[in-house]
Amino acid sequence: MKLILFVHQNASSKGTTFRKLIKQNFKGLEIETFQTFNGFKTRLKQVSLYDQEIFVLFTDSKDRLKELTSLIDLLEGKRILLILPDDSNATTSVAHHFFPRYFTYVNDTYDDLCAVLIKMTQQEKKIKIVSNNNGGN
Amino acid sequence: MSKILIIDDDHQVCRTLGKIFTRMDHMVELSLTLKEGIDKVSTDDFDIVFLDVKLPDGNGLNAIKHIRGCSTAPEVIIMTGEGSSDGAELAMRSKAWDYIQKGGSHTEFKLSLARALEYREQKLSKIQNMPINKGAIIGQCRQILNCFDQVSSAACNDLPVLITGETGTGKELFSRAIHNNSKQSQSDFVVLDCTSLPEYLVESTLFGHIKGAFTGADSDKIGLIKMADKGTLFLDEVGELPMGMQKKFLRALQEKRFRPVGSKKEINSDFRLISATHCDLTEMVDKNQFREDLFFRLFSINIHLPPLRDREKDIQSIALSRMEQKSDLAEKNTCTMSQDFLEEIQMYEWPGNVRELINTIDLVCSKAGYGSKLFPHHLPEHIRASNIKKKFKTLKNKHTQPPDPFAKEKMHQSKLPFKDHLEKTKSAYLQDLLSGTKGNIKESCKISGLSRSQLYRLMQQYDLKGI
């Protein structure tokens, strides 16, 4: 189980706060952070050896969200949580193209997002235990 | 002119029905054993198969799925000498067209045939008329083509769709295919993953809330149902939807109106619902873990996706497609598969289904290096270990007993409730006993240890006559 965090290097101070928050709350998890689109793109092209990855994508501007949509093919089938710049119809409509498991907004507290992440990671642990008990990999 | 196959070990039945159907201008073929019938269906294109239940080399009911899975997916009409409600139920569950008792008049056979042919004609014309955009779904096997037909008809209306199937079979891909081919395609496809959300978040995420509705509700928030207005709401793993939320959601689904948390005003949303689950919702309903009324609402159209192990023919095309896609995305050369590699991936059971196959292909391509030829050696150890075990088992079975093509169906039978299973076993035992003694009651009593009165009572109970 791994968290892949994308927070652009030029993101506002909220990006830094968010990154710190995730690192503090999910100390037991391996977290890989990307701060540039190129770095993130390269990572998406690689094969992951992890059974399950959760992608948390922080987009604090419409332009950044738009740029992220150029990677949508590489994100196909991934489990995505999105942080959106605003709650306008145009923004949420773009967000739905990522088929996110959950999304919230930059100006929200991230309590709910953390609760979702906790549930998802616990779920994974359960699946893993069941799969091991069944003799799976 | 249609092509009809009659599978029955009774020469008289075969000849009589054959004559009747030939007079109706159909082409008729006869098979006296199940094996011969299956071979014919596999190699020839039939429209309708009349299938007896008790055949010398097997039970016709166990062969329905196999016959329906053939390339032309013929309609199957079961004919039986001794009708039973269990048999009829099994036949219907296996998607047989009809279940007829042989004692009836010829008219009944003619009528059933005429209706089945009318239905088939209509079904085939619909398939030809409505090509669908399949998106990223790969598959040419009969089961998947049937699912495409269902996607096509689901896309034409607004009824709720429930997609069922094991994990990794592509439930979300199929739901997107329905959306993309429907009139809602110009609006959003909105996902709610019921497994990811903590219970306290479900209501406000689905219905939205107004400012001050609860602690932390600093502003109004639109819910996913409203966001799916004129589009599609996809409830993934709907079996996980909290019981407390199901009633409220059912109302929103029926009325297309709902009240956001904390609001006094109702708002409208004209959404189309597609839900998916890997759980057995009927079982959940029985255990009071899921509301029956919601279940019936969700179940308006059901598309059941087959596991990958039942789609052996598609494994190659899915693997090839993934290799091409991956190399395109990575801007590198495509890998190729050796024959041995292909055989290995076709042999494996793929408990994680298409998702597991795709992950495995990604992994082996990366391990071997893009542009390389893939050999079994590149596969993960657990796949090779599982295959080698399977090979040994097959080899062992070959020496001990002939293969049973309907083993899977039999396994499903063993999932009957204990009481029903016991009843079936008793009935089968008595049938065997009486047929072994050619109906000799004295000998039957001697073998079974039953008294004469006990035996007669059981024969009456299981509707058996002395053979």
With beta carbons under 8 A apart, name residues in chain B contacting A43: none
Per-residue pLDDT band at B126 (split at 50, 70, 90): low
Interchain CB distance below 8 Å, B191 and A46: no
Indicate the pLDDT class of residue B108, thresholds 50, 70 and 90. confident
Kindly report the average pLDDT of chain A as a whole number. 88
pLDDT class of B298 with cuts at 50, 70, 90: very high
Q: What is the Rg, in whole angstroms, of the alpha carbon atoms belonging to chain A?
A: 15
Distance from CA of A95 to the nearest CA of B (A): 9
**Residues B199-212: tens digit of each pLDDT:** 999 999 999 999 99
Q: Tokens 């790969």 belong to which residue?
A: B138
The percentage of residues in chain B with a pLDDT greater than 70, rounded to a whole number, is 93
Residue A63 in contact with partner chain B when CB distance is under 8 A: no
- From A9's Cα to the closest Cα of chain B, the distance in A is 24
What is the CATH classification number for the domain harbouring A47? Answer: 3.40.50.2300
CB pair distance less than 8 Å for A123 and B195? yes
Average pLDDT over residues B309-323: 92
Token pair 């709907």 is at which residue? B238
User: For B222-231, what is the mean pLDDT?
Assistant: 97
In the prediction, which pLDDT does A135 show?
Answer: 44
What mean pLDDT comes out for the span A65-76?
A: 93
Q: What share of chain B has pLDDT > 90, as a percent?
A: 51
Amino acid present at B377: H
Test A123 with B196 for CB contact under 8 angstroms: yes
Domains and CATH numbers, chain B: 3-127 (3.40.50.2300), 142-306 (3.40.50.300), 309-400 (1.10.8.60), 407-461 (no CATH)
Is the model's pLDDT at A125 over the cut of 80? no
Q: What is the pLDDT of residue B467?
A: 44
Closest-CA residue in chain B for A81? B196
Sole residue written with tokens 């616990």: A122
**pLDDT for res B450:** 84
Output the DSSP codes for B348-411.
S--TTHHHHHHHHHHHHHHHH-TTPEE-GGGS-HHHHHHHHHHHHHHHHHHHHS---TTHHHHH
Task: Label residue B415 by pLDDT band (50, 70, 90).
Answer: low
Please give, rounded to a whole number of angstroms, the shortest distance from the CA of B326 to a CA of chain A: 8
Which residue of chain A comes nearest to B329, CA vs CA? A45
For A93, the closest of B188, B195, B221 (CB atoms) is B188
* pLDDT of B346 over the 80 cut: yes
pLDDT at B431: 81
Instruction: Tell me the whole-structure pTM to 2 decimals.
Output: 0.72
- pLDDT, tens digit, 9 for 90 and up, residues A74-112: 998 899 999 999 999 999 999 999 999 999 999 988 999
Contact B234, B275 (CB under 8 A): yes
| pLDDT per position as a tens digit, B351-367 | 999 999 999 998 898 88
- Residue B205 CA: distances (Å) to CA of B23, B220, B418: 64, 12, 43
| Average pLDDT of span B30-47 | 89
Q: Are strands B301-304 and B161-164 parallel, antiparallel or unpaired?
A: parallel
What ipTM was assigned to the predicted interfaces of this complex?
0.90
pLDDT at res. B321: 93
Of B214, B292, B303, B298, which is closest to residue B252 (Cα–Cα)? B298
**Domains identified in chain A, total number:** 1
Going by pLDDT thresholds of 50, 70 and 90, the confidence category of residue A34 is very high
pLDDT digits (tens, 9 = 90+) for B12-32: 889 899 999 999 989 999 999
Q: Which residue has the higher pLDDT, B83 or B116?
A: B116
Nearest to A109 among B193, B216, B363 (CB): B216
Between CA B12 and CA B106 the distance in angstroms is 13
Terminal C-alpha separation, chain A: 14
Q: Is A38 an interface residue toward B (CB < 8 Å)? A: no
Q: Which of A49, A92, A137 sits opposite B227 (nearest CB)?
A: A92
Predicted pLDDT at A127: 56
User: A53: domain range?
Assistant: 2-133
Is residue B451 pLDDT above 90, yes or no? no
* pLDDT computed for residue B466 by the predictor: 47
- Inter-residue long-range contacts of B109-114, CB under 8 Å, 24+ positions, other chains counted: B109/B17, B109/B20, B109/B50, B109/B79, B110/B20, B110/B24, B112/B77, B113/B4, B113/B21, B113/B24, B113/B26, B113/B48, B113/B77
